[in-house]
């Protein structure tokens, strides 16, 4: 199966961001992609660099503006597409949500980001209520999509639950970058850790892992931090943890890759991890800490 | 803290294997190691290549021959040491067990391998009853040791539970190798997957991961398979998933490395994964599969 990830640099101009996404979506579909992934919060800047109530104006309903816009295009192109947007669920209730569009333009399902970060320049707890839909794959003509979002990627539990619930692949729209006040060595360690933990999910679950990150510098309008240099590096690992494709760290890129969903069953026969899980001893995974 | 891993090629001559280990233990202690790790089933061949009741003669009690032998040496050298041996717990009841010796020669604690593999050339389910002690770190003067064994390394749950129970580092004595009838590419993918999943545990838990593998070819006495080429590659990852040290794949090696246990708290402040785990939604981790 051919897939595509659209790694993009966004500006304050939402119409322009959307226009670029439309062009990229067309270009990826022309190249035969059956499944196309957008980065986290696809149409705007990463506004969580500061806590500002004006940013709630960016939120939209599902269905709403973005889903209608891309439903039409997706239907025309016949590709399953994963959007990520700022969901306005009710007055004063917002989520960080991925929407999966089936190739006929219908909404196949949504995933609401379960793990919400909060650290300098990533003030997401101000904006997003943690998801309440659990870790349920979304059934599509391109497979059961285990869609998770950004901070979720650090949690082996999230990947495992998607696998246990029947995911055929794991997909992470994301927005992560460097603070350039860190040393080059520290920056490299952070990026490598980010890749390593997700590669680990591929191996542990015998599933492909597809991660689409944004790229380019975005200023911190509050002036508190020096802004974020989103590090790109969108990647695809196969079900054995083998690197299939990786985008550069400094430019917009449509990453096209071939994945083989039949590899999972072969792997699960030679290395049958799921046969042997000691579920009788896993109860404490539902605790925050010992005792 | 300086640590050492003894990556060794064993023969049928147990006395000779032990003699080499003693020499290596002395050599590592002389180089200032405070914590020394043996490979899985330290004193014998990897006998699980075939199911043969004669091999139960290799099992020993705890305390017993090996713990007495190494207790004396460990006390003399003043180093915390992790043995791995075939435990005879009762008549007809055996485990694959790690024993941690405190530097005064006392037994600090044991860990009984929880996940037992069984695939061609690794018939461990014939020999070992799965452990019944859970995932409890062992308290020593070198830290709370999260000792796990080989097949456990593929399970993020095991690493996480050790972390939640207060482990300062994760330690895997192991015995894994290639079937040379696989292609070179497949062999590389297997080794890389093995490294990747454990590196993932380091990142996800902000803990150093120390894995000591055996090396060298061992024949399959039953003739069913072409034997195992143990792939060495013993390694140490730091708490951010950074590679600290790695042994070669084709020779005996005492791998000396420095690890910084204080790095864990620094990481857990900047990337506070443990703050945000969605334990309210983790209940299904105690199921074998959905439904």
* All structural domains of chain A: 2-273 (3.60.110.10)
Q: Predicted confidence band at A228 (pLDDT cuts at 50, 70, 90)?
A: very high
Residues with Cβ within 8 Å of residue B53, at least 6 apart in sequence: none
Residues A141-165 pLDDT 10s? 999 999 999 999 999 999 999 999 9
CB atoms B288 and A279 under 8 Å: yes
Dihedrals phi, psi of B183, to nearest 5 degrees: -70, 160
Note if B212 is an active site residue. no
Q: Predicted confidence band at B27 (pLDDT cuts at 50, 70, 90)?
A: very high
Above 90 in pLDDT, residue B127? yes
Nearest CA in chain A to B200: A197
Report if pTM > 0.95: yes
Residues with Cβ within 8 Å of residue B43, at least 6 apart in sequence: B10, B14, B17, B18, B21, B66, B85
Q: What's the rounded mean pLDDT across residues B71-78?
A: 98
pLDDT score at B91: 97
Considering only CB atoms, B285 lies closest to which of A192, A276, A282, namely A282
Nearest to A201 by CA among A224, A167, A227: A167
Above 90 in pLDDT, residue B128? yes
Q: Is A111 helix (H, G, I), strand (E, B) or coil?
A: strand
CB atoms A241 and B166 under 8 Å: no
Q: Predicted confidence band at A221 (pLDDT cuts at 50, 70, 90)?
A: confident
Nearest to A180 by CA among A130, A139, A229: A229
Work out how many CB contacts closer than 8 A connect A with B.
169
CA distances from B241 to A262, B37, B125, B209 (A): 30, 20, 32, 8
B20, B87, B124, B150: the catalytic one is B150
pLDDT score at A291: 66
Q: What's the rounded mean pLDDT across residues B3-18?
A: 97
Q: Predicted confidence band at B222 (pLDDT cuts at 50, 70, 90)?
A: confident
Mean pLDDT of chain B: 97
| Residue A59 CA to its chain's centroid (Å) | 18
Please tell me if residue B156 touches chain A, with a CB cutoff of 8 Å: yes
What gap in Å lies between CA A135 and CA A205, rounded to an integer? 14
Residues A96-151 pLDDT 10s? 999 999 999 999 999 999 999 999 999 999 999 999 999 999 999 999 999 999 99
Above 90 in pLDDT, residue A171? yes
Above 90 in pLDDT, residue B291? no
- ipTM higher than 0.90? yes
CB A147 within 8 A of CB A98: yes
Taking only residues 104 to 143 of chain B, the set having a beta carbon closer than 8 angstroms to any beta carbon of chain A reads 114-117, 119, 130, 134-135
CB B14 within 8 A of CB B41: no
Please tell me if residue A263 touches chain B, with a CB cutoff of 8 Å: no
**Residues of A recognised as catalytic:** 40, 113, 150
Q: What's the rounded mean pLDDT across residues A261-285?
A: 97
Dihedrals phi, psi of A251, to nearest 5 degrees: -150, 160
Dihedrals phi, psi of A122, to nearest 5 degrees: -130, 65
CA distances from B227 to A117, B55, B105, B150, B222 (A): 48, 17, 36, 18, 9
Q: What's the rounded mean pLDDT across residues A232-261?
A: 98
Considering only CB atoms, A203 lies closest to which of B115, B116, B197, namely B197
What gap in Å lies between CA B120 and CA B49, rounded to an integer? 8
Pairing mode, if any, of strands A169-174 and A143-147? parallel
Q: How far is B14 from chain A (nearest CA, A)?
A: 30
Q: What percent of chain B has pLDDT over 70?
A: 100
pLDDT score at A208: 98
What gap in Å lies between CA A80 and CA A104, rounded to an integer? 8
Note if B103 is an active site residue. no
Dihedrals phi, psi of B189, to nearest 5 degrees: -65, -40
Please tell me if residue A276 touches chain B, with a CB cutoff of 8 Å: yes
Q: Predicted confidence band at B224 (pLDDT cuts at 50, 70, 90)?
A: confident
Q: Predicted confidence band at B111 (pLDDT cuts at 50, 70, 90)?
A: very high
pLDDT score at A112: 98
């Amino acid at each position: 199966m051919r897939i595509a990830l659209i790694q993009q640099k966004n500006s304050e101009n939402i119409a322009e961001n959307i226009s670029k996404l439309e062009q990229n979506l067309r270009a990826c579909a022309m190249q035969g992609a059956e499944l196309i992934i957008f980065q986290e919060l696809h149409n705007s800047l990463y506004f969580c660099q500061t806590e500002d109530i004006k940013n709630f104006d960016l939120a939209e309903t599902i269905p709403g503006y973005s889903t209608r816009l891309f439903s039409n295009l997706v239907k025309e192109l016949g590709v399953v597409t994963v959007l990520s947007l700022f969901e306005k669920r009710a007055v004063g209730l917002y989520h960080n949500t991925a929407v999966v569009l089936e190739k006929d333009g219908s909404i196949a399902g949504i995933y609401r980001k379960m793990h919400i970060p909060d650290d300098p320049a990533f003030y997401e707890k101000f904006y997003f209520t943690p998801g309440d839909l659990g870790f349920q794959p979304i059934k599509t003509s391109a497979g059961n999509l285990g869609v998770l979002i950004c901070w979720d990627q650090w949690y082996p539990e999230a990947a495992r639950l998607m696998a246990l619930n029947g995911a055929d692949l794991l997909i992470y729209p994301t927005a992560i970058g460097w603070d350039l006040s860190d040393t080059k060595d520290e920056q490299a360690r952070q990026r490598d850790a980010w890749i390593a933990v997700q590669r680990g999910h591929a191996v542990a679950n015998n599933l492909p892992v597809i991660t689409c990150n944004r790229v380019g510098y975005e200023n911190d309008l509050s002036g508190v931090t020096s802004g974020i240099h989103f590090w790109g590096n969108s990647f695809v690992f196969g079900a054995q943890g083998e690197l299939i494709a990786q985008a550069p760290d400094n430019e917009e890129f449509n990453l096209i890759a071939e994945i083989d969903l039949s590899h999972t069953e072969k792997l699960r026969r030679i290395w049958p991890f799921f046969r042997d899980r000691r579920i009788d001893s896993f109860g404490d995974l539902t605790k925050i800490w010992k005792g």
